[in-house]
Chains A and B, each alone.
Chain A
Amino acid sequence: MTQKSTIRVLVAKPGLDGHDRGAKVIARALRDAGFEVVYTGLHQTSEMVVEAAIQEDVHVIGLSILSGAHNALVPDIIEGIRKAGLSDALVVLGGIIPEEDFDFLKKAGVSMIFTPGTSLTEVVEYIRSNAPVRT
């Protein structure tokens, strides 16, 4: 039997927006759920997020954006991650994301978008069941 490794999650705040309440609450909840969590801190460029994801070899990248810059930033990050070889990493997004952008973001490679009012349990369960299994 192969041992399933602990799920490693990068919680990232790309762009200039400083709203980190949600990102921090999620980071704590994921840690309390037994995941290994790395939080980038604020004001990250797309390159910085990609670099952190590679360095930590994460299974999951959780992006938090509340400034409206998601359509510009998310595709850059996902492209960077895939190019760098983290092809199986699960990318989820949280924040103020209008529904009309969902299709675009999903096509860009976001697997799930969590909007305000989502419960912590929902996020934890989604990640637990969808994070890639690496042996």
Chain B
Amino acid sequence: MSQHDSKSLEQIRKAREEWEKARTEGEAKYPNRSASFTTWSDMEVPMLTTPDELEGFDYLKDLGLPGEYPYTRGVQRTMYRGKLWTMRQFAGFGSAVDTNRRFKQLLSMGQMGLSTAFDMPTLMGYDPDSPRSKGEVGKCGVSVASIHDMETLFEGIPLGDVTTSMTINGPAIVISAMYFAVAEKQGVPKHKVKGTLQNDILKEYIAQKEWLFPVKPAVGLVTDTIEYGTKHYPGWNTVSISGYHIREAGATAVQELAFTLADGLAYVDDCLKRGMKIDDFAPRLSFFFDVHNDFFEEIAKFRAARRMWARFMRERYGAKDPRSWMLRTHAQTAGVSLTAQQPYNNIARVAVQALAAVLGGTNSLHTNSMDETLALPTDEAVTIALRTQQVIAEESGVANVVDPLGGSYFVESLTNKVEREALEYIRKIDEMGGMVAAVERGFPQAEIANSAYHFQRQLETQTKVMVGVNKYQMQEPKRTIPTLYIDRSVEQKQIQRLAELRRSRPKQAYEDGIRKVREAAQTGQNLCGPIQEAVAANATLQEVCDTLRGVFGIYREAGSF
């Protein structure tokens, strides 16, 4: 590192050579447990890193101070001394009434922000009474088909006082319009509406696979929402560029990082093409990463992500506002790492992952509940997950120091390596013409499928160990923890509620609303305004989405594997 001059580096190198000789000569008392040691993503790690391996490392250029470019050490000067990360547990199931109750429970337990999970039909832009929704209503999240559901969801929760994150992508433009309309009804001024719309459609084609329209018009909708949010909702994070789903689908840490940043670059490019100015919209772009099993690999990923994004924004796009350079991120512990076997072990996994997210400098965190591989989490499991964060925040002491791992020879060299490999992927994607083109030719999809298969093979051969799954298994009683069960009555109730809405709404206003949406889509206008008008006039989610499908068409993926 830069604190070592070349003379002392030479001495270190010599000492290291001697040490290597001593280490490899003769019979070792404890030979290596394995021929090679790799991260969870199969990246080789050294036994030891010494300062000579970081030659050329420039503290101010590569790390800088916290809250300063390139933000490797964190986006805030005081980090968690000033403000703890936001503890934000993702919740949503059944009807809006059920989820509203869970929201209030979480707020009363000290959670700081809300995060909404929607059910599959909502994510795909179908109403509960569509034949495509059969069996899915309220199962994986809350069912929201109209502004009435949205109102119920936030009943008794003043939207000017909480920040709300919404995991919705394909129909994000419609769902956010409903949210804004409810805030307006509550009398909340626009600048006080705060939260985050996931609204990252590229990662849907890549990994999460809940899409509505072909890629290009879908990206156009994202740009619409960025443009509209920038103009009217200054406290709203217009997109949460998400690596989480990419990782969960099987990507490595490097792939997650590279594809996520490349998605972000694609949105930036589309906004610029529309004539927006980088410093007007870039400060409201936010990120969302997975935090997986391999402690240091994850920490390195978060640190590299901040540095890479800052440099892209400043060097590639000439952004001048420091807020444009900052990668602010939410993190969630890895759902795929949880095991149905010996489920209480998941509490330990989540704690380790959460600690990595905190040491990686995340701005917000969701900790998974131990029972999530079995079903949606119970109240008790959610409480333990939140308490895990509170233990880290209040008891472990890690929140008292900014980036305590900064300067660790190993962590810095791993951060460099993760960055180098991710940049190589981004170079490839740039060569293809950017992420939209790469997605259309299936590049990231194929890379992820390969990694997922490779990992599964490693599990089969015990090259990678999952405790309780392929090692340390034991006989277990049938089911050891209680689970939450969503029954079909939710579906029936939602269908009735919708039928009632269709019967009672004034026909003219709703039809006008839909007509204006169609016209705006046909003429390429920003769709946010017309959609907000339509949903306020009680147009349902699917009615708006079908109108857009009629103009844009639908997306089909080739069933390759």
Contacts and interface: CB of A to CB of B under 8 A. Distances in A.
Most buried by B among A28, A69, A73: A69
A86 B132 CA distance: 24
Nearest to B559: A41
Contacts of A45: 131-132
State which size class the interface on B falls in.
35 or more
B373 A67 contact: no
A18 B120 CA distance: 9
Given A43-B124, A67-B120, A99-B478, A15 B374 contact: no
Contacts of A11: 561
B398 interface: no
B469 A117 contact: yes
A2 to B, nearest CB: 31
A121 B460 contact: yes
B140 A68 contact: yes
Interface string B106-121: 0000000000000011
Contacts of A37: 561
A119 B91 CA distance: 31
Interface stretch (B158-166, B178-186, B352-360, B481-489): B481-489
B452 interface: yes
A16 B124 CA distance: 7
Given A16-B120, A16-B123, A99-B479, A116 B136 contact: no
A25 B460 contact: no
Contacts of B561: 11, 23-24, 27-28, 31, 37, 39
Interface string B241-260: 00000001110000000000
Contacts of A68: 135-136, 139-140, 375, 486
A72 interface: yes
A112 interface: no
A99 B375 CA distance: 10
B449 interface: yes
A4 interface: no
A17 interface: yes
B387 interface: no
Nearest to B340: A116
B560 interface: yes
B456 interface: yes
Contacts of B453: 24-25, 28-29
Interface string A1-42: 000000000010001111111011101110100000101111
B374 A67 contact: no
Interface of B: 120-121, 123-124, 126, 131-136, 139-140, 204, 208-210, 248-250, 336, 339-341, 373-375, 449, 452-453, 456-457, 459-460, 466, 469-470, 478-479, 483, 485-486, 488, 556-561
29 contacts: A11-B561, A15-B120, A15-B135, A16-B120, A16-B123, A16-B133, A17-B120, A17-B140, A18-B209, A19-B209, A21-B248, A24-B453, A25-B250, A29-B456, A39-B559, A42-B209, A67-B136, A67-B139, A68-B135, A68-B136, A69-B136, A72-B134, A96-B373, A98-B483, A99-B479, A100-B485, A115-B340, A117-B339, A117-B340
